[in-house]
């Protein structure tokens, strides 16, 4: 399947934590606590944890701010924002940043098609 060993280990670790009840996708846990717990797993970073929160937990404020496409799509001047700059820029979108993520991904997709 083309999955590297570290990613396989991370998938197994997530599955193990789910089976043990250490990670629950019930939406009860606050996103930052969820992100913190998931990031304890070797091979899972902040982007992945926020992406899970966006897609699986349906958190309307989940924000994978290190995403390269988001960092490019959030500006009009063809620069790439730093993750920190994007976080600052996105503060005004709270508590609906996940919706901005989806719109920015779509926007970038359309920009690329026009080239």
For 24-73, what is each residue's pLDDT tens digit? 888 777 888 889 989 999 999 999 999 999 998 999 999 999 999 999 99
pLDDT at 111: 83
Residue 1 confidence (pLDDT) above 80: no
SS3 letters across the chain:
CCCCHHHHHHHHHHHHHHHHCCCCCCCCCCHHHHHHHHCCCCCCCHHHHHHHHHHCCCCCCCCCCCCHHHHHHCCCCCCCCCHHHHHHHHHHHCCCHHHHHHHHHHHHHHHHHHC
């Amino acid at each position: 399947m083309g999955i590297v060993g570290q990613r396989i280990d991370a998938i197994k670790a997530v599955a193990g934590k789910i089976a043990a009840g250490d990670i629950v996708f019930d939406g009860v846990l606050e996103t930052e606590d969820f992100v913190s717990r998931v990031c304890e797993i070797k091979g899972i970073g902040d982007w992945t944890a926020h992406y899970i929160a966006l897609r699986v937990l349906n958190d309307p404020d989940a924000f994978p701010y290190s995403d390269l496409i988001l960092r490019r799509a959030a500006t009009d001047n063809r620069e790439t924002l730093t993750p920190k700059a994007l976080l600052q820029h996105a503060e005004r979108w709270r508590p609906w940043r996940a919706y901005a993520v989806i719109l920015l991904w779509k926007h970038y997709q359309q920009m690329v098609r026009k080239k």
